[in-house]
């Protein structure tokens, strides 16, 4: 999730130097817990057969079906036991370097607020539902958890190359909007899709988006949009594939080649693309 126009450039009042804030879970009202329950009920009813097995396992292992907005310190006990990750509360989008530093240290920055009923189907800033329902279940999968650490370390390195815009596409087309080919069919693991009722249907069933086999270089050339459904989705064969290619690739020469090539507009299909479904 990102809309960089909202990023706090200095830690807001009450925040630590790493932008973390207390979750203040006890300040959530009954109405706010009810918004979580409404969103959770709607998504959990429609995700079997749509969400990746790893995601559904995460919902179960982390006991996310308990009512109300999860209390981070309580949830962290289970998340830490699974993969050593923990959720830290932040007031919204944080600067890239801060974000990557947290990921590199197995800390997932999650919003300490929840959307209003008027924002039920879309909001710009990552709230607790997008972050905790969307992102956290996959963090209980050991391989995906390692991928997110590798991404955080890669993100910090990319800043040294001035290559964040290219590397951000890898995050966007995997962590936020990724699809995976399972033996029993195409499934969602991207947080931006899985936390959205309409896009969970669109991403798998609509004929208009181009679903392409994941290719790291192709992904890093591909533009994306932040204010509408995606017109491109990239499909991995396994989470192992994603971790392997990210850990084994030397990104420096890729960044040099990317700087010499034009971006690829959304919705484009190149002749050597592998179209899926
Ligand atoms: N901050 N809280 C928060 N959540 C994000 O997803 C996030 C961010 N800051 C930067 C950022 N994402 C992007 O740099 C990544 O998507 C690459
Ligand atoms: Fe997100």
For the segment 110-119, what is each residue's pLDDT rounded down to a tens digit? 999 999 999 9
Is the CB of residue 28 below 6 angstroms from any atom belonging to ligand 1? no
Asked whether the predicted pLDDT for residue 4 surpasses 70, the reply is no
* Residue located nearest, by CA, to atom 3 of ligand 1: 93
One-letter-per-residue 3-state SS of 74-139: HHHHHHHHHHCCEEEEECCCCCHHHHHHHHHCCEEEEECCCCCHHHCCCCCCCCHHHHHHHHHHHH
Is the CB of residue 19 below 6 angstroms from any atom belonging to ligand 1? no
Query: By CB neighbour count within 10 A (0-12 exposed, 13-18 middle, 19+ buried), where does 39 fall?
Result: buried
Dihedral sign (CA 195, 135, 37, 42): positive
Question: What is the spatial distance between Cα 151 and Cα 174, in angstroms, rounded to a whole number?
Answer: 11
Q: 182: Cβ–Cβ under 8 A, 6 or more apart, which residues?
A: 52, 53
Return the ligand number nearest the Cα of 132.
Answer: 2
Is the CB of residue 168 below 6 angstroms from any atom belonging to ligand 1? yes
CA nearest neighbour of 107 among 11, 168, 20: 20
Query: Which pLDDT score is estimated for 47?
Result: 97
Q: 137: Cβ–Cβ under 8 A, 6 or more apart, which residues?
A: 54, 55, 56, 57, 58, 59, 62, 64
Give per-residue burial for 89-109: e unless 16+ CB within 10 Å, then b.
bbbbbbebebbbbbbbebbbb
Beta 185-188 vs 179-182: how paired, if at all? antiparallel
Query: Which pLDDT score is estimated for 3?
Result: 47
Q: Read off the tokens for 6.
A: 């909202």
Nearest atom within ligand 1 for CA of residue 135: 6
Is the CB of residue 96 below 6 angstroms from any atom belonging to ligand 1? yes
Return the ligand number nearest the Cα of 176.
Answer: 2
Question: What is the spatial distance between Cα 57 and Cα 215, in angstroms, rounded to a whole number?
Answer: 26
Write the pLDDT tens digit of every residue in 210-245.
999 999 999 999 999 998 999 999 999 999 999 999
Residue 264, φ and ψ in degrees, nearest 5:
-105, 125
Nearest atom within ligand 1 for CA of residue 168: 17
CA nearest neighbour of 135 among 199, 68, 58: 58
Return the ligand number nearest the Cα of 1.
Answer: 2
**Contact status, residue 193 vs residue 211, Cβ threshold 8 Å:** no
What's the fold here for domain 14-259?
A: 1.10.800
Asked whether the predicted pLDDT for residue 256 surpasses 80, the reply is yes
Write the pLDDT tens digit of every residue in 35-77.
999 999 999 999 999 999 999 999 999 999 999 999 999 999 9
Distance 20 CA to ligand 1 centre (A): 14
- Percentage of the chain with pLDDT > 70? 97
Is the CB of residue 254 below 6 angstroms from any atom belonging to ligand 1? no
Average pLDDT over residues 132-155: 98
Question: Which residues, chain by chain, have CB under 5 Å from ion ligand 2?
Answer: 1, 126, 191
Distance 71 CA to ligand 1 centre (A): 22
Distance 196 CA to ligand 2 centre (A): 12
Neighbours of 11 (CB within 10 A): 18
């Amino acid at each position: 999730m990102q809309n960089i126009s909202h990023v706090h450039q200095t830690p807001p009042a009450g925040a630590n130097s790493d932008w973390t804030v207390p979750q203040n879970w006890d300040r959530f009202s009954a109405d706010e817990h009810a918004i979580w329950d409404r969103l959770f009920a709607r998504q959990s009813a429609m995700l079997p057969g749509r969400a990746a097995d790893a995601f559904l396992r995460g919902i179960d292992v982390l006991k996310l079906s308990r009512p109300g907005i999860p209390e981070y310190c309580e949830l962290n006990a289970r998340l830490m036991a699974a993969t050593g990750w923990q959720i830290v509360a932040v007031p919204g989008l944080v600067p890239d370097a801060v974000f990557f530093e947290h990921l590199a240290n197995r800390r997932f920055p999650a919003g300490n607020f929840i959307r209003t009923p008027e924002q039920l189907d879309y909001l710009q800033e990552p709230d607790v539902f997008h972050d905790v329902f969307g992102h956290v279940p996959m963090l209980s999968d050991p391989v995906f958890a390692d991928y997110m650490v590798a991404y955080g370390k890669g993100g910090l390195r990319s800043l040294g190359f001035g290559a964040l815009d290219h590397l951000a596409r890898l995050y966007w087309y995997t962590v936020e909007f990724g699809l995976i080919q399972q033996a029993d069919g195409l499934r969602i693991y991207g947080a931006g899709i899985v936390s959205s009722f309409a896009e969970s249907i669109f991403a798998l069933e609509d004929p208009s988006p181009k679903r392409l086999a994941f290719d790291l270089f192709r992904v890093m050339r591909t533009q994306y949009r932040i204010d509408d459904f995606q017109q491109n989705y990239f499909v991995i064969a396994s989470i192992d594939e994603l971790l392997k290619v990210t850990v084994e690739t030397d990104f420096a020469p890729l960044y040099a080649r990317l700087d010499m090539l034009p971006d690829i507009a959304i919705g484009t299909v190149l002749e050597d693309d592998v179209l899926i479904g």
